[in-house]
């Protein structure tokens, strides 16, 4: 497809990992291009400030990677930072969160390469460095949430996330589109993972465009950044 041009009629929504920056062995090992924050500020200026980050990362991690200049949805929409800087929370931490964390850390201790990410509302099992454990970890995660009515599993690139039930990036995009300066614009969203599909669909449903890094940018984060710049 021909990539759309970003103009003043658009509201731009962007994932981070695998979209703006390359994936890494662990979440803390990513490398952020030094020009990225300035590039995003330039895009926001072209859209009258209507740019938001939609990420599965913690809010503090988003700020560490690209700064505090942007509205954002953290942890797949569990936390929203609105354009005026107000931070709102939309879910509760699952009741068995602390128990699950202990169990997962115990397994990670005997599975070299498995990393457990402890977020505010969600737990993520990363196995990029230990793909041979994928099936066992999937079974473990399913056993942990069996019978829990306040949590669901979310599959991602070489990761399994245990997250609160309800809410996704599509819901977050819709919430922003009801607020200035996003309201009345055509949404453009770019993501790379299964967790981004709800936002891709929501952008299209609202008359805009949802783009996928593998399908529309040949899997290249550099191509995404070049598109944003031009």
The CATH number covering residue 152 comes to: 3.90.1070
- pLDDT given at position 29: 95
Each residue of 64-73: pLDDT tens digit? Answer: 999 999 999 9
Sequence-distant contacts of 19-23: CB under 8 A, at least 24 apart: 19/190, 19/191, 19/192, 19/196, 19/213, 19/221, 19/224, 20/66, 20/221, 20/224, 20/225, 21/65, 21/221, 22/221, 23/128, 23/157
| Bridge partners of residue 120, in order along the sequence | none
Task: Using the 3D structure, point to which of 107, 134, 164 is the last residue of a domain.
Answer: 164
> Is the peptide bond prior to 32 cis by the omega test (within 30 degrees of 0)?
no
Whether 34 shows a pLDDT value over 80: the answer reads yes
Q: Which two tokens stand for residue 57?
A: 């990362």
- pLDDT given at position 124: 98
In the block, which residue shows the tokens 């850390």?
105
Question: Which residues does the annotation mark as catalytic?
Answer: 15
Residue 116 lies in a domain: yes
Task: Using the 3D structure, point to which of 121, 147, 164 is the last residue of a domain.
Answer: 164
Residues 48 and 66 in one domain: yes
Give the separation between CA 96 and CA 163, rounded to whole angstroms: 11
153 confidence band (pLDDT: 50, 70, 90)? very high
Whether 50 shows a pLDDT value over 80: the answer reads yes
Residue 75 lies in a domain: yes
Task: Using the 3D structure, point to which of 164, 183, 203 is the last residue of a domain.
Answer: 164
Q: What is the DSSP letter of 3?
A: P
Torsion sign across C-alpha atoms 52, 29, 18, 141: negative
Residues 14 and 122 in one domain: no
Residues 158 and 45 in one domain: no
Residues 28 and 123 in one domain: no
Domain of 222, in residue numbers? 10-90+167-229
Split into its structural domains, the chain has a count of: 2
Q: Which two tokens stand for residue 173?
A: 């995009």
Give the separation between CA 215 and CA 209, rounded to whole angstroms: 13
Alpha-helical regions (H) of the chain: 36-46, 59-66, 97-109, 134-145, 169-177, 197-205, 213-216, 221-229
Residues 15 and 84 in one domain: yes
Residues 85 and 16 in one domain: yes
What residues have CB less than 8 Å from 171, skipping those under 6 apart?
Answer: 77, 198, 202
User: The domain spanning residue 78 has which CATH number?
Assistant: 3.40.50.1000
Residues 25 and 81 in one domain: yes
Q: Model pTM? A: 0.95
- pLDDT given at position 167: 86
Residues 151 and 192 in one domain: no
């Amino acid at each position: 497809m021909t990539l759309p041009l970003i103009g003043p009629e658009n509201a731009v929504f962007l994932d981070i990992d695998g979209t703006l920056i390359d994936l890494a062995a662990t979440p803390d090992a990513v490398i952020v291009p030094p020009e990225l924050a300035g590039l995003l500020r330039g895009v926001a200026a072209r859209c009258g400030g209507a740019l938001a980050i939609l990420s599965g990362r913690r809010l503090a991690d988003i700020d560490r990677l690209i700064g505090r200049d942007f509205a954002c949805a953290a942890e797949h929409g569990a936390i929203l930072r609105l354009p005026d800087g107000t931070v709102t929370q939309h879910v509760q931490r699952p009741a068995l969160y602390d128990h699950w964390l202990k169990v997962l850390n115990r397994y990670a201790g005997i599975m070299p390469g498995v990393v457990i990410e402890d977020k505010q509302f969600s737990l993520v099992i990363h196995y990029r460095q230990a793909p041979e454990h994928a099936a066992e970890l999937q079974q473990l995660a399913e056993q942990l949430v069996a019978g829990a009515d306040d949590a669901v599993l979310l599959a991602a690139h070489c990761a399994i996330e245990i997250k609160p039930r309800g809410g996704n990036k599509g819901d977050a995009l819709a919430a922003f589109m009801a607020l200035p300066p996003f309201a009345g614009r055509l949404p453009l969203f770019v993501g790379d993972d299964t967790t981004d599909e709800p936002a891709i669909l929501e952008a299209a449903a609202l008359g805009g465009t949802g783009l996928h890094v593998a399908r529309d940018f040949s899997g290249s984060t550099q191509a995404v950044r070049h598109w944003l710049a031009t």
